[in-house]
């Protein structure tokens, strides 16, 4: 228990930051659109951890509520994003984002 109480908000935030950095790294470097989507999920979860950590240390329920919203939103987002990816695949016959650069013009 003592060990547990030694875990402070900094630990949470550190985890969250690492998670965010990993997600961001995935988004920035991966070519597969699905992997990028996974990176986005990581970023969202990093944010969730932040919400929960602050909620726990702040004592209110707002953070919990917010993280629930984010999870719902992430689910919706995943659905939409997957639909987009499927469409991209249909049109470009690939899910490699580096070759989908028609937004250039």
Partner 1 sequence: MHSLIQLSIAVLLLPLLSFVILIFFNRRLPRRGDFIGVGILGTTFALSAYIFWTVIVEHYDPAFRVAWDFTWLDFGNVPGVGPLQVKMGIVVDNLTAIMLAMVTLISFLVHLYSTGYMKGDKHYGRFFAYLGIFTFSMLGIVLSDNLFSIYIFWELVGLSSYLLIGFFFEKESAADAQKKAFLANRVGDIGMWLGILILYSQFHTFGYQEIFQKLSAGEFGLSHAWLTAAGILLFMGCVGKSAQFPLHVWLPDAMEGPTPVSALIHAATMVAAGVYFVARIFVLLTPEALHLIAFIGAFTAFMAATIAITQQDIKRVLAYSTVSQLGYMVLGLGVGAYSAALFHLVTHAFFKACLFLGSGAIIHAMHHEQDMRWMGGLRRNMPWTFATFIIATFALAGLPLTSGFMSKDAILAGALGFAQTEGTWYYYLVPVLGFFSALLTAFYMGRQIWLVFFGESRTHLKPSDPHDHHAAHAHDGHDGHDGHDEEHGHHPVHEVAWNMRLPLVVLAALSIFIVYSPDPLDGGKGWFMKMIPTPATVVGGEQHGISEAFMAMSAEEHGTAAAPEAVQAEAAAAEDMHAPAAAHAEAVTEPHPSAASGEHAEGHTFADPRQAEIAHLTHAAHNRAIQISTVMVILGIGFSLTVYAFKVIDPDRTARAIRPLYLMSYNKWYWDEIYQATFIRGSMLIAAMFSWFDRNIIDGMVNGIATLTRKFAFLNGSFDKYAVDGMVNFTAFFVNTSGGVLKKLQTGKVQTYVVMVMLAVFGYFVYYFAQLVS
**How many residues would you count in the chain?**
105
For 94, phi and psi rounded to 5 degrees?
A: -160, 160
Q: How far is Cα 60 from Cα 64, in angstroms, rounded to an integer?
A: 8
Q: Select the span of 6-14, 45-53, 67-75, 93-101 touching partner 1 (CB under 8 A).
A: 93-101
Nearer to partner 1, 24 or 70 (CB): 24
Site string for partner 1, 36-75 (x = CB under 8 A): x---------------------------------------
Asked if residue 28 binds partner 1 (CB under 8 A), the reply is: yes
Q: What are phi and psi of 32, to 5 degrees?
A: -75, 125
Kindly tell me which of 58 and 87 has the beta carbon lying closer to partner 1: 87
Count of CB atoms situated within 10 Å of the CB of 38: 16
């Amino acid at each position: 228990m003592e060990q547990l109480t030694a875990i402070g908000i900094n630990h949470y935030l550190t985890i969250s930051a690492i998670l965010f950095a990993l997600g961001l790294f995935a988004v920035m470097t991966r070519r597969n659109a699905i992997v990028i989507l996974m990176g986005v999920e990581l970023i969202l979860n990093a944010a969730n951890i932040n919400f929960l950590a602050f909620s726990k240390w702040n004592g209110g329920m707002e953070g919990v509520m917010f993280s629930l919203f984010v999870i719902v939103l992430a689910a919706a987002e995943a659905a939409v994003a997957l639909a987009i990816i499927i469409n991209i695949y249909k049109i470009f016959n690939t899910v490699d984002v580096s070759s989908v650069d028609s937004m250039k013009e």
